[in-house]
Amino acid sequence: MKQIFPVFLLLILAIGCNEEERPMNTRNEINPIVKELQTKYAPDKRTAIFSVAVTEKKGSVTLKGEVDDPAAKDELMARFGAQSGKVIDSVDVLPSQDLGEKTWGIITVSVANMRSDPKESAELGSQVLMGSIVKVWKKKSGFAYVQSPDHYLGWVDTDQLHRVTKKEAKAWDGAQKIFVKGLLDVVHEQPDENSYPVCDLVGGDVLKRIAAKGPWIAVELADGRKGYVKQSIVIDAAEWGKSLRPVPENIERTGKFLMGVPYLWGGTSVKGVDCSGFTKTVFLLNGVMLNRDANQQADQGVPVEPGTKFANLKKGDLLFFGKKAGGGRPERIVHVGIYLGNQVYIHSSGKVQVSSFDPASPIFNEYNLDRFVRARRVIPDAPKVKEVAVQ
């Protein structure tokens, strides 16, 4: 799984400048200030915004860019002012003023793609599911820059979300909703399987509950579209994390129901998954929200010493692959899977598949055995991701 989500730069330096306007020398005493504050306010560029360019012009310093925390800008200006004297302020504090009061959004498609840039050809970084409330930071070229419930940042097509005010977001958050536990289905126009679809659904989607009608439930999407879903494929959203729990057997069952789903870089839904998107989806459908990327998931749960032939591991433990720390280099986690017992694990690599650590097994994967790093146990006490709150 990728380790860097390329939306923000740690430090942006101007290029192509004349003698009167030139980039700050990287050894100049000012530049470490930007690095220090970026580390303080946005240590992970995938989940926080701090993008600042620094230039000198005729004895003054110009700061240009954007941050998501007013305190970050205040400290930035204070530090540069104390160091340099004259400072020209061109740093915006998001959300962008042109959004007005509609600085929140609710996803209105089964799976919304989050891209690295505001264009369809840009890299897919992650996905966010129907009914999720997202923070909207800015908009450009028909895209909105949003932050998903697991704090991931990316550009979403504005046709795939309904922008709302804080009050409207809170109303949606407080409404009675249903959680889709089935893997793939549709919202029907009528309480009849032969009626046309309003939209498709994937496991993890959330809809507003209107009323029950026999084996059907009348539902509403955030953009006002209405229809019906089968009661058998949903649960009350309030029961997520209660009736849906990460029981090891259920983790295995959910994972195996995704067998053969194609690998998709950035995918976090049953339509396509990368390695951490697979583990995230499996646990989401069992009442636990994991972090987005493999190296982020490697911080959840508790460490488990595998033991000889992985004898200490239990079904449902997360396995992490990459390179161990050593030789002055830090640990690097690039892949994750779910342990199933007897040296067998399930993961997304090319497609969702089962592999083994046992050299005698016909599904032995020597490459992954060689790059196995460590394991974490997230059952039963997985620390839940604190979702982006509407406040």
What CATH number is attached to the domain comprising 33?
3.30.1340
205 with 295, same domain: the answer is no
What's the domain range around 74? 21-94
Q: Which residues contact 154 (CB under 8 A, 6 or more apart)?
A: 5, 7, 114, 115, 116, 125, 126, 145, 146, 148
Among the candidates 94, 121, 149, a domain finishes at: 94
Domains in the chain, number: 4
What CA–CA distance (Å, rounded) separates 363 from 251? 20
For the whole model, what pTM was predicted?
0.87
Which pLDDT score, from 0 to 100, does residue 58 have? 76
Which pLDDT score, from 0 to 100, does residue 86 have? 87
**DSSP bridge partners of 302:** 377
Asked if residue 12 belongs to a domain, the reply is no
267 with 361, same domain: the answer is yes
297 with 320, same domain: the answer is yes
Asked if residue 14 belongs to a domain, the reply is no
Q: Where are the beta strands (DSSP E) in 124-176?
A: 124-129, 133-140, 143-147, 153-157, 161-164
Q: Which residues contact 301 (CB under 8 A, 6 or more apart)?
A: 318, 376, 377, 378, 379, 381, 382, 383
Coil, strand or helix at 237? helix
Among the candidates 94, 112, 139, a domain finishes at: 94
Residues with catalytic roles: 275, 335, 347
Asked if residue 384 belongs to a domain, the reply is no
**Tokens representing 82?**
């104390």
Asked if residue 369 belongs to a domain, the reply is yes
The pLDDT tens digits along the chain (391 residues) read: 444 333 332 222 222 333 233 233 333 444 689 999 999 999 999 999 999 999 888 778 899 999 999 999 999 999 988 877 789 999 999 999 999 999 999 999 999 999 999 999 999 999 999 999 999 999 999 999 999 999 999 999 999 999 999 999 999 999 999 999 999 999 999 999 999 999 999 999 999 999 999 999 999 999 999 999 999 999 999 999 888 888 999 999 999 999 999 999 999 999 999 999 999 999 999 999 999 999 999 999 999 999 999 999 999 999 999 999 999 999 999 999 999 999 999 999 999 999 999 999 999 999 999 999 999 999 965 444 455 555 4
269 with 323, same domain: the answer is yes
What CA–CA distance (Å, rounded) separates 21 from 5? 30
370 with 253, same domain: the answer is yes
225 with 324, same domain: the answer is no
Among the candidates 94, 110, 129, a domain finishes at: 94
Asked if residue 288 belongs to a domain, the reply is yes
What CA–CA distance (Å, rounded) separates 139 from 273? 27
